[in-house]
Homo-oligomer: A and B are copies of this chain.
Amino acid sequence: MTAGPADARVPAPPIPVLAVVGVGLIGGSFAAALRRAGHVGRVLGVGRNGPSLERARELGLIDEAVDAAEAAARADLIMLAAPVGTFGAILAEMRAALKPGAIVTDAGSTKVTVAQAARAALGERVASFIPGHPIAGAEKIGPDAADPGLYTGRSVILTPLPENLAADVARVRAAWEACGARVLDMDAAEHDQVLASVSHMPHFLAAVYVAQVARSADCRRRLAIAGTGFRDFTRIAAGSAEMWRDIFLSNRAAMKAELAQVRAVLDEAEQALDAGDGAALEALLEEAARFRRDWKPGH
């Protein structure tokens, strides 16, 4: 048997060099999914946490750890999967070194302030920045939580900038589809309002509630008989405090608007409770129960 040079017959992967900034659950799973799909060649990792980067390398999520400038100079696609508050500084470090034709995307949970930060940091190179957001659980943290199947069947929202080239948006879309996700386009402001409601508000309320329980004098006894309702209601409150701090601050306006409406319904429910108004209380509970029973994830 004879064979020609293997290199000549193996097509280059769509993303020869991928750089991931923040190799935790979100970034690590992106790298792992793309690698499993044969969609990437070499994977570079960038991060502030040395042991975490080393662990990502041990796990095979990345091939080597580099700094932001080197990632910018070598990568074809750069994924920002760090807390959104750090994006401005990271992009400013990368700007001068960015390889021609390289594209940058992110996994940040808010999109209006991310686009502002990218525009401020990248100047005219912002045309290469395609904002994105995978809707995937984030209550586990760190590279050990990374899972190549995390995005299978999940939604990813892209909020392209007016400056983006359609071909670049298509490359980011193709990468997410290679991870098994379905990709939706949305306006950034619309994204932030919808996410404030169905993602950020549950986290905010769960954290407030858990902090209140934690501060009770008899918190040990309370936890001893907490059941599955408590477990599921509070699961998201275990997520990264730093990440969620940045999400709330960067989506403050939308959060405030939603919170005012949540407080109005809370007042209504408490007034019904105060008044012993069983009919009003039951109507509100039934409204919520019917709405929740009718919901099917992903539809």
The interface of chain A, by Cβ under 8 A from chain B, is 85, 135-137, 139, 154-155, 157, 184, 190, 194-195, 197-199, 201-216, 218-219, 221-242, 244-246, 248-249, 252, 255-256, 258-259, 261-266, 269-270, 273-274, 276, 278, 281-289, 291-293, 295, 297, 299
Are A227 and B135 within 8 A (Cβ)?
yes
Are A225 and B194 within 8 A (Cβ)?
yes
Interface CB pairs A-B, < 8 A, 14: A184-B225, A194-B222, A198-B226, A202-B209, A202-B229, A203-B229, A205-B209, A206-B288, A210-B291, A215-B265, A229-B236, A232-B233, A245-B281, A259-B270
Are A252 and B273 within 8 A (Cβ)?
yes
Are A230 and B249 within 8 A (Cβ)?
no
Could you say which residues of chain B place their CB within 8 Å of the CB of A284? Answer: 207-208, 211
A241 partner, pick from B208, B223, B286, beta carbons under 8 A: B286
The complex places the Cα of A235 from the Cα of B197 at a distance, in Å, of: 16
Are B292 and A237 within 8 A (Cβ)?
yes
A245 partner, pick from B197, B245, B282, beta carbons under 8 A: B282
Of all chain B residues, the one with the shortest Cβ separation from A246 is B278
Known contacts A212-B264, A213-B291, A216-B261; 9 further A-B pairs (Cβ under 8 A): A207-B288, A208-B284, A211-B288, A214-B291, A215-B261, A215-B265, A241-B289, A245-B278, A249-B278
With known contacts A225-B135, A229-B236, A256-B274, A289–B198 Cβ distance under 8 A: no
